[in-house]
Chains A and B, each alone.
Chain A
Amino acid sequence: MALLFLHIQSVLSVSDIHLTVEDGEGVVLASHTILRGATLEDALTLEKGCSLKASFKPVLGSQSTMFLPQQAFLRVDSPSGTATVAVAARPSKAGDALIATAGHSALAAQLAPGPTRLSLVLGDASLPLGLEAVLGTLVLGQPAPGRGYKAPVLGPLPEIQHRHRQPERRANPLAPLTALGGVLALGAAFLLALPARLGANLKGFPAGGRAGLAALGFHAALAATLGTLALFWLRLTLLQTLPALGALGLVVNGTGRALAATRAPAAGGRKKAE
């Protein structure tokens, strides 16, 4: 990412800046030198367990000796600029440079993984202006699980739509239709076979009088009983059905006895004849 080199007019300046990325054992993984006034051409990556070391030499004006400013920070900013981590630089053992070391874990605790802006900030109360130099882009790797930066959730959460149960899978309509046709066909065949094959008839139905009435009433009450059961299945409640069934039962009983009585003499005569 190409970034502008921001140089506030200042008597402070820095020599070439050396950036190195080292792993936990001090092995150098990457090394860059930023010449005076330049920035990193490519983004620098800092993975978990690694640290970034910046070495530079602040000077005043055209002097060659190192100047020790009160403020010498290596600063890492989030892309929005709302979060910042700064590391103070300290003189090296030889005393000829300032060194700032930033560990990945310290940065990841306050900055989200991804690209960040790397800068150098120098200043001193004895000087009229400080120096702020953008060095380039530093890409922070993913932190260890549970150790990264966690922003408070003060915004809308993802919507949740309840997943309703899917209706049970039903059989193909062709199968029940076929079965229904078969059942009705069987029923019809039986009703047709009764007279046709078995010789059933109603010649013995009482012509009239008491026997006829009893027979009509008996069969009508039976049909009504079956109809009441069908109505109970379709519409009625138990409390409505039971009284009706009770009444119809009485009718079936009465008319059935009467019908049986009218048929008894004929049955007794056949027995005597045998």
Chain B
Amino acid sequence: MPLMLLACCVLATSASQSRVLVLMDEPSLAETHSRFLGGLRAQGHDLDVQPIDAASLRLVRWGDWIYDKLVILGGRKGLGGALDVALVLQFFDAGHDVILALDPAAGPELRELASELGVDVDAAEARVLDHSAYDGALAATAHDVVHADVSVGLNRHVFPAGIHGPVLFSGAGLSVSPESSTAFVALNAGPTAYGGEPGKAVTVARLAGRGVGLVALIQARNNARAAVTASLDLLSDAFFSAQAISPEGKSLGSSANEAAVDALARWALSQRGVLIVRSVSHRVVGGEVEPERYRVKDEVEFSVRIDRLTDGEVAPYAAEDVQVELTMLDPHVRATLTHDGAGTFSARVTAPDAYGVFKWVLSYRRRGLTGLELSRTVPIRPFAHDEYERFIFQAYPYYGSIFSLMAAFLATGAAFLYTK
């Protein structure tokens, strides 16, 4: 039975087994960002902290990847050792996750890496400024520590519990093409924010309002994930423990940076929002399971079992928008699968009355979830000669004429031979 199962889902990896290479622009970042690194360890990752420009840096040895994930806290220094942008992209293309946190004044190499991931970082001298939603304690004069907009547009797969509290940000803005199907902005600036040089008037509004991205996430077609931000302060201990103050001087409570960064890191390192396909099957209703071929107009059923991984727990996935297509060059049938609440999605369709080599194709891509690309090949044959309508009412005169001819032949023969 010709089986062509193309499952591009990411299987759950035991968090305790993943080796993470953490590259730091300055050794002091290990102290100023200790809570961020502690959070990664608490998620079960085994961290290997190295200077970003170390001569001994390697990602691959004898054709095998040494690490599972990569975290870069980058600044002006470029990648050292055997690392360069091309190798990091190869690492990403091989299905490994990357977190890229840049200092706003980061060098061209790291900016190029961000750009290759689909995220454009604002100019080196630009910062995210907001004269109406800045932090009254940390940015009273420059207005360059802003409060992120957490009121609308948070992806529920990245932030399942939402964000309860202000998120402080100081750095450069990001832009992602609105037409991108892989990259999206997970955390935006407020409607009055913009990207500009502190203290200088803006003559061209490159980034403005909710178009200013603070954290961008990438879900690649091979289900590798990346997170990009142009702020090291977002992940710093100082911002984790800061008390947010409004421009009017009113206390807004503790910052929610730690919770937000934890959620972003969990998503970026494939610990939540991961879909797992357990089984795929198709059958003729009332007939055998996964037959060699269907017949035209057969009633057929496709079913798939999908689970979802969230923070180490696997649960049945439930959604109303999973679709399957029966395709031969173009989709002949597209049906929405219904689920039974236990993760099994199924749909019944009538095989089209066109014969050839068809494929069941399930292509499911949603923001914040890993993509599913499954296909099963199943030929559809036409009716056999004995499967058509046997007797046609309109042909009864012909049937009658043949039998009456037979009777007349016998009678005529007998009459001819025996008439006296």
Contacts and interface: CB of A to CB of B under 8 A. Distances in A.
A125 B335 contact: no
Given A75-B209, A203-B420, A162 B414 contact: no
Contacts of A59: none
B73 interface: no
B157 to A, nearest CB: 12
A171 B191 CA distance: 70
B415 A125 contact: no
Nearest to B185: A82
Interface string B370-412: 0000000000000000000000111111001101111111111
A154 B178 CA distance: 12
B367 A154 contact: yes
A156 interface: yes
Contacts of A162: 332-333, 349-350, 352-353
A3 interface: no
Given A164-B350, A201-B418, A83 B410 contact: no
Contacts of B410: 219, 222-223, 226
A186 B403 CA distance: 12
Interface in A103-143: 110, 119, 121-125, 127-132
Contact of A176 (B396, B412, B417): B396
A203 B417 CA distance: 10
Interface stretch (A25-33, A34-42, A46-54, A86-94): A86-94
B323 A157 contact: yes
Interface in B173-213: 178-181, 191-192, 194, 196, 198-205, 208-211
A121 B202 contact: no
B211 A83 contact: yes
A152 B177 CA distance: 10
Interface residues of A, number: 82
B160 interface: no
A179 interface: yes
B419 interface: yes
B292 interface: no
A180 interface: yes
B153 interface: yes
Nearest to A117: B191
Interface string A159-197: 111101100001101011101101110110011001100
Interface string B298-339: 000000000000000000000001010100000111111000
Given A84-B191, A191-B407, A165 B353 contact: yes
A128 B143 CA distance: 9
Interface of A: 8-9, 68-73, 75, 77, 80-88, 90, 110, 119, 121-125, 127-132, 149-162, 164-165, 170-171, 173, 175-177, 179-180, 182-184, 186-187, 190-191, 194-195, 198-205, 215, 219, 222-223, 226, 230, 259, 263
9 contacts: A8-B132, A71-B196, A83-B210, A132-B192, A152-B181, A164-B352, A176-B394, A226-B410, A230-B406
Q: Please provide the 3 A-B residue pairs with the shortest distance between their CB atoms, ordered closest to farther.
A: A123-B131, A187-B404, A86-B208
